[in-house]
Amino acid sequence: MPAMRYTFSAADMLSDELRAALRRRLSEIIGAALIGIAGIAALALATWSVQDPSLSHATNAPVRNMLGLPGAIGADLMMQVLGIATIALRFSVGAGG
């Protein structure tokens, strides 16, 4: 005797092929976002300077980072927390994407 379903899901209206295609597109979008994040982090780290203002260094000097103040703060935090290992982390995130 077949079991009766008492719930209704919007996914039940989609075919298996369409669900698989949507899952592939979602994984592609996530991969592209990870590659973009790795690229932004690389740009912030490439233009990082100790002289830039950040959360741990207050100065009136102009920001030299190409991503502006958010890039200077992000690069400084990455360098303080992970140091040179930030490069390996950025590479692994980009490769995962």
Query: Where along the chain do its domains lie?
Result: 52-97
- Report residue 11 as tokens: 């996914």
Q: Which residue has the tokens 């989609």?
A: 14
d(CA 74, CA 3): 54
Using pLDDT thresholds of 50, 70 and 90, give the confidence band for residue 93.
confident
44 or 94, which is more confident?
44
pLDDT per position as a tens digit, 38-91: 999 999 999 988 888 888 888 888 889 999 999 999 999 988 898 888 888 888
- Report residue 17 as tokens: 């092929």
